[in-house]
Chain A
Amino acid sequence: MSHLLEVKNLDVKFNTDEGQITAVENVSLSVDQGEVLGIVGESGSGKSVTAKSIMQLNPGNTIYNDNAEIILDNENTLKFSSKNDLKKIRGGKVSMIFQEPMASFAPAIKIGNQMVEQLLIHKNINKDQAKSISIDMLNRVGIADAEKRFNQYAFELSGGMRQRAMIAMALSTMPKLLLADEPTTALDVTIQAQVINLIKDIIKEYQMGVIFITHDLGVIAQVADQVAVMYLGSVVEQGPVNEILKNPKHPYTKGLLQALPDINNLDAPLSPIPGNIPSPLDRPTGCVFRTRCPHHNPDGKDGKIEMKLIEVESGHWVDQCGIKCGKNGQ
């Protein structure tokens, strides 16, 4: 079966005044219909850049490598350049939900008008139909009084409600792929639980593929089927959610899990990952994690081991340097 989305060997570089920055290196991912791929990692790990590449939303100084492919519905979206083609992936087949719902709505345009506007661009329908689809969608995501909210501005809605409206807007064009970039990070836990349940229901109903980006492993455990752990632009570990969280192999994944305060185990000490994520300007050669790795093997420490994912169990891929380091640590 072919995948809904397949990203192959993606490199993303940015031309800046200080030189060329590698934001993403050799990332390959795939998402099936009705599947949630979770991408986790610290800030600066290239999660958002990867997702934005799918819609070609990265800024003008971005350079993609020539052999990279992003295949959506048998088309390589990286080669899209005409307005019509781009329209297909920006809001048509692919929709995106951003972290800060206040920043994603235009403040001076009513929510309803923004929803109608994008529907008119992507669907061959008239204004009244667009309005009824929008109100219907607002109802679906659990906004009470949808008709009234339709005529309000973003600032009149609370945080949770704005995020729901954002989701309604992203879904109203019936995309095949939904990119959710930290959609619950700005929300309170109680509202986060509501939004997670909502997203799960919607995936089930519409059978869309989802890329769910977050730095919160707890959220990943709740929504994802597959997980990719990213560090400094590279995927260091990848596999089914159960495998990754219960049987992590890479020292970075292990570190993230140990740094997380667990409410069910209050006696466990919080162990931070030492050091800071290096600047992408001086990205380490070889294994990108070696500067912070607690159990580096001598070859990995010197950067002699290339980054390469190896399948350790069926579907569970780990960077080859990380496998050795993970073993040394036990």
Chain B
Amino acid sequence: MSQVTGSINVESSVVKMGNNLISVNNVSVNFDYQENFISKKQKIHAVNNINIKIKKGSFFGLVGESGSGKTTLGRAILGANKISSGNVIFHDDERDYDLTNMNKQDLRDYRKKAQLIFQDPYAALSPRMTVRDIIAEPLEVMKITSSRQETDERVRDIAAKCRLNIEHLRRFPHAFSGGQRQRISIARALVSNPKFIVADESVAALDVSIQADILNLLKQLQTELNLTYLFISHDLSVVAHVCDVVAVMYLGHIVEMGPSRELFKNPKHSYTKALLSSIPSIDPEKRSEAIELRGEIPSALNPPSGCVFRTRCPNPGVDCKGGEIKMGLTEVEPGHWVDQCCVI
């Protein structure tokens, strides 16, 4: 076992993965909060001291309950949230971008290379634009194409890749079902030819039969277009199916991280164990084996001291119950990192 200093390298079991594309180093995101104008200013600790490395070509999963900081971390990596401390490096072929230190031109370049797919395909598409215009908008805003003809070509090309019917491009979003809309959102995200995609709960709003279709499409596009994903989800069975590497977040901290098969077969942290046991089993004979977690995720305004999970932990040790053990990841198996409180 080695103690963590600085950054962590998660070696994945999957081959074909190259160098790091994204390095997140000691990133924290805080928000200012003031209940009303006379009360004291407080800080919401949304994301605390996160270290992750996302390899080129990987499908990196981020799971946790609502309020665990998954989305905030995803947005911070895209430069959509201000990073309070630490830095995020995007390793492009020619040069590295440091997200905390970018000029306007750099930011513009970065936006072409890193894109976001949203959760709700009903809210994410403007009802007043045709599908063609929705997909073409990034090209026009980022001035990637110079002529209308070129734009149309790119739109048709990406629409075909996302299995959208070319004849449908002149229609408006209301004519489409949830799955088709999500394919439009994916086409819009991919049209600028990005290398890195953050998919934030991108299948959560879909029916299971369609969810499988979108997941297969994301996988297929990954190999076709050499994409790297950060896949944010609260659904562990989905993450287990598509992701190579998974990080489990709780109250702004990563409590466990590792290659997805290893992590789901051999979970070490009691939060991961509880999450896994909470998934309703499809077998009616296996009822209520859930490790029930008492209560709910505490407020990020004043998180518990020491191990943040100790207030809900089903079997806390004496030390961690008192909050005397600091948060910090420890490597238990090659590439499998667990918060030290649950290892001791």
- 149-180 of chain A: CB within 8 A of chain B: 158-161
Give the interface centre of B209, B216, B292 by most chain A CB atoms within 10 Å: B209
Q: How far is the CB of B153 from chain A (nearest CB, A)?
A: 28
Are B240 and A263 in contact, CB atoms less than 8 angstroms apart?
yes
Query: Is A15 engaged at the interface, CB distance under 8 Å to the other chain?
Result: no
Q: Which residues of B contact A260 (CB under 8 A)?
A: 208, 237, 282
Query: Is A106 engaged at the interface, CB distance under 8 Å to the other chain?
Result: no
* Distance, CA A136 to CA B204, complexed state (A): 36
- 273-288 of chain B: CB within 8 A of chain A: 274-285, 287-288
Q: Which of B207, B215, B292 contacts A197 (CB 8 A)?
A: B292
Are B282 and A189 in contact, CB atoms less than 8 angstroms apart?
no
Are A263 and B237 in contact, CB atoms less than 8 angstroms apart?
yes
Known: A272-B209, A273-B209. A262 touches B237 (CB 8 A): yes
Are A188 and B177 in contact, CB atoms less than 8 angstroms apart?
no
Contact with B along A251-264 (1 / 0, CB 8 A): 00001110111110
Are A222 and B287 in contact, CB atoms less than 8 angstroms apart?
yes
Closest chain A residue to B208 by CB distance?
A259
Q: How far is the CB of A6 from chain B (nearest CB, A)?
A: 24
Known: A194-B292, A197-B292. A218 touches B279 (CB 8 A): yes
Contact with A along B145-181 (1 / 0, CB 8 A): 0000000000000000000000000000000011110
Are A193 and B283 in contact, CB atoms less than 8 angstroms apart?
no
Known: A197-B288, A260-B208, A272-B209. A245 touches B278 (CB 8 A): no
Are B212 and A193 in contact, CB atoms less than 8 angstroms apart?
no
Query: Is B9 engaged at the interface, CB distance under 8 Å to the other chain?
Result: no
Contact with A along B66-90 (1 / 0, CB 8 A): 1000000000000000000000000
Are B279 and A259 in contact, CB atoms less than 8 angstroms apart?
no
Are B280 and A188 in contact, CB atoms less than 8 angstroms apart?
no
Q: Which residues of A contact B288 (CB under 8 A)?
A: 196-197, 200, 222
Q: Which residues of A contact B210 (CB under 8 A)?
A: 42, 272-273, 276
Query: Is A29 engaged at the interface, CB distance under 8 Å to the other chain?
Result: no
Query: Is B321 engaged at the interface, CB distance under 8 Å to the other chain?
Result: no
Q: Which residues of A contact B129 (CB under 8 A)?
A: none
Closest chain A residue to B209 by CB distance?
A273
Q: Which of B212, B240, B283, B296 contacts A160 (CB 8 A)?
A: B296
Known: A42-B209, A161-B296. A270 touches B278 (CB 8 A): no
- 78-116 of chain B: CB within 8 A of chain A: none
- 239-298 of chain B: CB within 8 A of chain A: 240-241, 261, 264, 274-285, 287-288, 290, 292-293, 296
Q: By the criterion of a CB under 8 Å from any partner CB, how many residues of chain B are at the interface? A: 42
Query: Is A221 engaged at the interface, CB distance under 8 Å to the other chain?
Result: yes
* Distance, CA A226 to CA B123, complexed state (A): 36
Query: Is B213 engaged at the interface, CB distance under 8 Å to the other chain?
Result: yes
- 247-284 of chain A: CB within 8 A of chain B: 255-257, 259-263, 266, 270-273, 276-277
Closest chain B residue to A258 by CB distance?
B212
Query: Is B65 engaged at the interface, CB distance under 8 Å to the other chain?
Result: yes
- 208-228 of chain B: CB within 8 A of chain A: 208-213, 215-216
Query: Is A191 engaged at the interface, CB distance under 8 Å to the other chain?
Result: yes
Q: Which residues of B contact A42 (CB under 8 A)?
A: 207-210
Q: Which residues of A contact B177 (CB under 8 A)?
A: 276-277
Q: Which of B179, B261, B284 contacts A245 (CB 8 A)?
A: B284
* Distance, CA A271 to CA B216, complexed state (A): 8
* Distance, CA A246 to CA B283, complexed state (A): 8
Query: Is A100 engaged at the interface, CB distance under 8 Å to the other chain?
Result: no
* Distance, CA A180 to CA B287, complexed state (A): 19
Interface residues on A, range: 35 or more
Q: Which residues of A contact B22 (CB under 8 A)?
A: none
- 78-109 of chain A: CB within 8 A of chain B: none
* Distance, CA A242 to CA B281, complexed state (A): 13
Are A189 and B278 in contact, CB atoms less than 8 angstroms apart?
yes
Are A261 and B282 in contact, CB atoms less than 8 angstroms apart?
no
Known: A191-B296, A276-B180. A266 touches B240 (CB 8 A): yes
Q: Which residues of A contact B285 (CB under 8 A)?
A: 242
Are B207 and A43 in contact, CB atoms less than 8 angstroms apart?
yes
Query: Is B236 engaged at the interface, CB distance under 8 Å to the other chain?
Result: yes
Query: Is A215 engaged at the interface, CB distance under 8 Å to the other chain?
Result: yes
- 199-245 of chain A: CB within 8 A of chain B: 200, 215-219, 221-222, 224, 241-242, 245
Query: Is B238 engaged at the interface, CB distance under 8 Å to the other chain?
Result: yes
Q: How far is the CB of B298 from chain A (nearest CB, A)?
A: 10
Closest chain B residue to A188 by CB distance?
B65
Give the interface centre of B238, B276, B278 by most chain A CB atoms within 10 Å: B278
Known: A197-B292, A271-B212, A276-B180. A218 touches B280 (CB 8 A): yes
Q: List 28 A-B contacts (CB under 8 A).
A: A42-B207, A159-B66, A188-B65, A189-B278, A189-B279, A190-B292, A193-B277, A194-B292, A215-B208, A218-B280, A221-B280, A221-B284, A222-B284, A222-B287, A242-B284, A245-B283, A256-B208, A259-B211, A261-B238, A261-B240, A262-B237, A263-B237, A263-B264, A263-B279, A266-B240, A272-B211, A272-B216, A276-B179
Residues of B in contact with A (beta carbons under 8 Å apart): 65-66, 177-180, 207-213, 215-216, 234-238, 240-241, 261, 264, 274-285, 287-288, 290, 292-293, 296
Known: A257-B282, A261-B215. 17 other contacts (CB 8 A): A42-B210, A158-B296, A192-B278, A192-B280, A216-B280, A217-B282, A218-B280, A218-B282, A246-B284, A256-B208, A256-B209, A263-B279, A271-B212, A272-B210, A272-B213, A273-B210, A276-B179
Residues of A in contact with B (beta carbons under 8 Å apart): 42-43, 158-161, 188-194, 196-197, 200, 215-219, 221-222, 224, 241-242, 245-246, 255-257, 259-263, 266, 270-273, 276-277
